Amino acid sequence: MDIIGIGYLGFESANLDAWREYGPKVMGFQIGTSPTADPDTLYFKLDDRRHRLAFHPGKIDRLAYIGWEAKGKLEFHAAVERFRSHGVEVSFGDPELCEKRGVKELIRFRDPVGYQHELFYAQKWSPRSFVPGRPHGGFVCGERGVGHIVVITPEYTPELEHFLTGIMGMHWYGSGAGKGKTGFFRSRLNDKTSHDIAYGFGPGKAGVQHIGLFVRSVRDVGETYDLVKKNGLQMMMTLGQHSQDPHMSFYHFTPSGFAIECITELEPWHDDGFELNPEQLSTWGHEIVGPILGPSVRTPAEVFDPEVLHARG
């Protein structure tokens, strides 16, 4: 499937007021304009797309959907055919849903774990429209998407890996350096970042663990770091550099209980040419100073809707 990467992410949150404050002031997000059909959702712009992150009102804080971007109409419809030929149930978004997401067309589908995904093309875009919520050099999104996400899966199965690599056509990036079973995957057309999504095995657990957002400079990482400390937000890992990416980052917790990894590229990532098997998570820094699994990681019964739990058995 000719997927570029994650075009947008949607969450449900019981803490929209906290996000409205934290998003612009700490992260530098721009509060976007909510479509008339969806006035209660908080939309954040990170670049010139209409939005990249959506926070829908909800009873608990949880991931709502991962929006994958197909290169265009032809690639989108080829992907729909491929899903159907593999027996994956897909449903087309109606015009109202497409308007909410700001896209031409989208389908919805679930992965074998039960997470909701969407595939779309042509999200609304206005050149030079991004105005950060505070002085900020900007996010690296554009042709590579919003960044990456790590979700927890209560079972890590061959079926999951087949779904991602065999059907969605993702590259297998490796298992990382964690002690538990984790799989890192990169969209077929992504040649800019090492992974778009990772599934971490957490028995009896589910939920989003962190999202990774790329900023343009070391200064943007440093200033965000200062603001996180100044606002007394819980840190997960201090500044550091992962073994598997030429990037510098730190992790802190958001109002939804998952972490944001704020990342800058020290040099462009390039395909390593072989599967990495890092001896350790990081070459320097990344001291663990908080929980690795925040309150966003819960039981499957809390994270998934009843029909998903029923389908999961």
Q: Site residues (CB under 5 A) for Fe ion? A: 212, 261
CB of 185 to Fe ion, least distance (A): 13
Residue (53 or 167) nearer to Fe ion, CB: 53
Residue (205 or 247) nearer to Fe ion, CB: 247
CB of 170 to Fe ion, least distance (A): 16
Residue of minimal Cβ distance to Fe ion: 212
Residue 168 contacts residue 119 (beta carbons within 8 Å): no
d(CA 211, CA 23): 14
- The tokens describing 10, both together, are 């949607």
The two most distant CA atoms of the chain are separated, in Å, by 52
- Secondary structure element (H or E) that encloses residue 209, with its range: strand 207-214
CB of 261 to Fe ion, least distance (A): 4
CB of 213 to Fe ion, least distance (A): 9
User: Does the CA dihedral 94-97-101-102 come out positive or negative?
Assistant: positive
Residue 297, SS3 per DSSP: coil
CB of 74 to Fe ion, least distance (A): 32
Residue (5 or 212) nearer to Fe ion, CB: 212
d(CA 116, CA 295): 20
- Using only the alpha carbons of the chain, give its radius of gyration: 18
The dihedrals phi and psi of 257, each to the nearest 5 degrees, come to 85, 0
Residue (240 or 300) nearer to Fe ion, CB: 240
Residue (113 or 260) nearer to Fe ion, CB: 260
Start-to-end Cα distance in the chain:
29
d(CA 286, CA 249): 8
- The tokens describing 292, both together, are 């690795």
Distances from the Cα of 164 to the Cα of 117, 183, 261, angstroms: 12, 10, 23
User: Does the CA dihedral 144-146-150-151 come out positive or negative?
Assistant: negative
Question: In terms of DSSP bridges, do strands 3-13 and 53-57 run parallel, antiparallel, or are they unpaired?
Answer: parallel
Nearest to residue 246, comparing CAs of 223, 224, 214? 214
Residue (61 or 261) nearer to Fe ion, CB: 261
CB of 283 to Fe ion, least distance (A): 15
CB of 210 to Fe ion, least distance (A): 6
CB of 141 to Fe ion, least distance (A): 15
Residue (111 or 261) nearer to Fe ion, CB: 261
CB of 193 to Fe ion, least distance (A): 10
Residue (23 or 212) nearer to Fe ion, CB: 212
Residue (10 or 212) nearer to Fe ion, CB: 212
- Secondary structure element (H or E) that encloses residue 119, with its range: strand 116-123
